[in-house]
């Protein structure tokens, strides 16, 4: 891993541009459920209750709101089938797949952070 000392520092304009880009991305992907929902639907298309069962802890009200937000931002597609009863299937769009590398990096970082916290807790128990 490169350290900050080995890297060239970005210019003030580059920092400002990066900050604006990050703020825009976090505005769309904010909250604790959106990336989990996208990942769930990238794996396979699902009905509302299937998503609810897969993502532990999300309430039906929040799930409905998050799905609506993701649909508005073109991350997921909602298809209504005229069956009895009506079937609604949610699926990831091609646009949501552009987050593949972001999701992979977040997963890697989350694993590293979890190990760091575990190690810190072990050290505290030894003392």
pLDDT at 5: 63
User: Which residues of the chain fall short of a pLDDT of 50?
Assistant: 1
Specify the residue for token string 């709101």. 65
pLDDT for res 76:
97
Beta bridge pairs of residue 10:
none
The DSSP letter of residue 80 is: E
**Tokens representing residue 15 in the block:** 């920092």
Q: What is the pTM for the complete model shown?
A: 0.78
Identify the pLDDT of residue 50: 97
CATH of domain 15-125: 1.10.10.10
pLDDT at 2: 53
For residue 112, the model assigns a pLDDT of 95
Nearest to 25 by CA among 111, 109, 114, 106: 106
**Residues linked to residue 90 through DSSP beta bridges, in sequence order:** 46, 78
Query: Quick one: pLDDT at residue 125?
Result: 80
3-state secondary structure of 58: coil
> What is the chain's alpha carbon radius of gyration, rounded to the nearest angstrom?
19
């Amino acid at each position: 891993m490169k350290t900050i000392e080995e890297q060239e520092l970005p210019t003030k304009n580059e920092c400002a541009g990066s900050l604006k880009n990050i703020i825009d991305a976090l505005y769309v992907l904010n909250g604790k459920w959106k990336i989990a929902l996208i990942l769930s639907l990238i794996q396979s298309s699902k009905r509302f209750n299937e998503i609810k069962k897969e993502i532990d802890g999300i309430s039906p009200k929040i799930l409905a709101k998050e799905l609506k937000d993701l649909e508005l931002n073109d991350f997921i597609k909602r298809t209504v089938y005229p069956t009895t009863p009506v079937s609604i299937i949610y699926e990831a769009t091609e646009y949501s797949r552009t987050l593949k590398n972001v999701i992979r990096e977040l997963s890697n970082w989350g694993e590293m952070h979890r190990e760091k916290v575990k190690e810190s807790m072990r050290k505290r128990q030894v003392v």
